[in-house]
Amino acid sequence: MESLCRNGGGDGYTLDYIVINDCSTDSTEGVCRENGFRYVSLRNNLGIGGGVQTGYIYALEGGYDIAVQMDGDGQHDPVSLSDLISPIISGDAHMTVGSRFLGKGSFFSTGLRRLGIRWLRLMVALKSGVRIKDVTSGYRAVSRELIELFASYYPADYPEPETIAIAARMGYRIAEVPVIMHLRRCGRSSIRALKSIYYIIKVTAAILIASPGSRARGWVR
């Protein structure tokens, strides 16, 4: 959190934040309360999709112009924040995806995981026409238009590749930005060896369908 605050704010924007505590069983809520961090604690565990959507609802109700999604395990370096939101501020993109596969200074995941990312990258490209190398990256930013969309609809499980396909198919511009990522400092990935095949099948199916239903305008079906 200290690093986030040090790197927050810049020319033309100010930074705010909210910690989403998705019914954790550790001391997250206590740490936030003791340090005066702003947070929302969910009464039931909603998973990654529900947790992230809570952040978008907060951003929508707070009137924010840009929402940045960051993991809480120390992987995503706030020093890259300005680079991540710059294309949105300039009007060149509605969504930016922070990539560990562009530039230098980021860690690379295991060979098996990179293979899975390549497959999902291909599925996103075939379905939406957008080529993003790091489709599973959770370090991303979106404009006000996508804040409104994701506050009303957000995929429940493993949503990162699917939301890229959703935004692209609705005509929103997406840019991939090199960012600095680190090995996680705490916790463990929700995608472990036994879940890898399930993850690939589920996300592939979701990308191929990629529709929030009739409530969203402009959907290509």
| pTM recorded for the entire structure | 0.83
C-alpha span between 69 and 17 (Å, rounded)? 10
**What phi-psi label fits residue 9: left (phi over 0), alpha (psi between -120 and 50 degrees) or beta?**
left
For residue 142, report the phi and psi dihedrals to the nearest 5 degrees: -135, 155
The owner of tokens 């969309």 is 149
C-alpha span between 47 and 108 (Å, rounded)? 25
Pairing type for strands 39-41 and 19-21 reads parallel
Is 63 a residue whose pLDDT tops 90? yes
Question: Class assignment of domain 2-209?
Answer: alpha beta
C-alpha span between 114 and 200 (Å, rounded)? 12
C-alpha span between 221 and 5 (Å, rounded)? 42
For residue 96, report the phi and psi dihedrals to the nearest 5 degrees: -125, 140
Reported as a pLDDT band with limits 50, 70 and 90, residue 174 is very high
Q: Do 140 and 99 meet the contact criterion of CB atoms below 8 Å apart? A: no
CA distances from 126 to 103, 107, 160, 217 (A): 25, 27, 16, 22
Q: Where are the domains of the chain?
A: 2-209
* pLDDT tens string 102-152: 876 555 566 677 788 899 999 999 888 899 999 999 999 999 999 999 999
Q: Which residue has the higher pLDDT, 113 or 211?
A: 113
Question: Helices (H), strands (E): how many in the chain?
Answer: 8, 6
Report angle CA 1, 179, 94 to the nearest 5 degrees: 95
Q: Which residue has the higher pLDDT, 192 or 22?
A: 22
Edge-to-edge, what's the strand order for the sheet holding 95-99? Answer: 66-69, 140-143, 95-99, 174-178
